Amino acid sequence: MRLTLNISPCPNDTFMFEALINGRIDTRGYEFDVTFVDIEELNGRVMGGVTDVTFGGRRGFDGGPDVSKVSYAVLPEIAERYRLLDSGSALGHGNGPVLVARRGFGRESDFIVSSDFRVAIPGIHTTANMLLQKLFPQLTDRRPMLFSDIAPAIAKGDVDMGVLIHEGRFTYLDHGLELVADLGVRWDQAMGGLPLPLGAIVASRSLPPEVVRDVEEMIRESVEYGFANPAASREFIKSHAQEMDDEVIDNHILLFVNDNSLSLGADARRAVLALTGVK
């Protein structure tokens, strides 16, 4: 059976899915048509797949992938069409997207009451934008752009601040930027230590339950393989990454691929409910 799989090119996704994509684990006869796109495009592809069609002997959604990475922020909008998988998630533990500005721009206390600042975000439907809205609701001039373009845009003065995700949270100093707030730390403080749900893996509800179970198990096995054989995926990760530095890649994986990526667990599910309202 062929399934469409959409994930991002960021290191946590390519690390988790490398063994599945490259056949290092038993794929149970499934074949995957894989597409790598930015997180906001991933969100859009899933949110836009609303036209019911028939193909391949089963029901699906025109334009919607079978399995996809999405931001947790979109779960409420897609819950009728996609189900959250127990494996493959990226959650932060006391860390998350970072709000940054040019070095010397000002202290947080100088701007937290202002709505005049132009803030770049990695997409309207991202968890990063949802967090910014929750934690800094006064920052209303939010401008979506490709995540990898945000740090250069701040450095050039095209925007005043920006929210960085993926490798950008580790390299902003190289652009002459400084930290304003780690939104994951703010979440941790507000939620009593619950992990921050960032990226989810979802499967179309058009898929038979046994197929969804197989996919969930294969993703878990792929993550386990990655943990046991960390060097095996490095070339694959670098072929898709924005940042090639091994230390940056290692830090990215270390922060966002963890036990919750194998199985969400009770605390993570409580966090998902708190953030999205979806069980």
pLDDT at 147: 87
Residue 12 token pair: 């946590």
Q: Which of 130, 158, 190 is the last residue of a domain?
A: 190
φ/ψ of residue 163, rounded to 5: -105, 120
pLDDT at 57: 36
pLDDT at 108: 56
Q: Which residue in the list 93, 125, 166, 252 is annotated as catalytic? A: 166
- Regions in the chain scoring below 50 on pLDDT: 50-61, 113
How many CB atoms are located within 10 Å of the residue 42 CB?
Answer: 27
pLDDT at 61: 45
**Is 252 one of the annotated active-site residues of the chain?**
no
Q: Do 208 and 253 fall into the same domain?
A: yes
Pick the closest to residue 261 from 214, 223, 222 (CA basis). 223
Q: Do 152 and 109 fall into the same domain?
A: yes
Q: Do 44 and 109 fall into the same domain?
A: no
Contact 186, 137 (CB under 8 A): no
Q: Do 53 and 67 fall into the same domain?
A: yes
Instruction: Print the domain residue range for 155.
Output: 98-190
Q: Do 45 and 67 fall into the same domain?
A: yes
> How many Å apart are CA 70 and CA 7, to the nearest integer?
8
Contact 67, 215 (CB under 8 A): yes
Q: Do 84 and 200 fall into the same domain?
A: yes
Contact 68, 5 (CB under 8 A): yes
Q: For 193-246, how does the pLDDT look when each residue is reduced to its tens digit (9 = 90+)?
A: 999 999 999 999 999 999 999 999 999 999 999 999 999 999 999 999 877 788
Q: Which of 149, 173, 190 is the last residue of a domain?
A: 190
Q: State how many domains the chain has.
A: 2
CATH number at residue 111: 3.40.190.10
| Dihedral over Cα of 33, 126, 48, 145: its sign | negative
Q: How far is CA 179 from the centre of its chain?
A: 21
Q: Where are the beta strands (DSSP E) in the chain?
A: 2-7, 31-36, 51-55, 58-62, 67-71, 82-84, 90-92, 98-102, 119-121, 142-144, 161-164, 177-182, 196-204
For the purposes of burial, counting CB atoms within 10 Å of the CB of 57, is it exposed (0-12), middle (13-18) or buried (19 or more)?
exposed
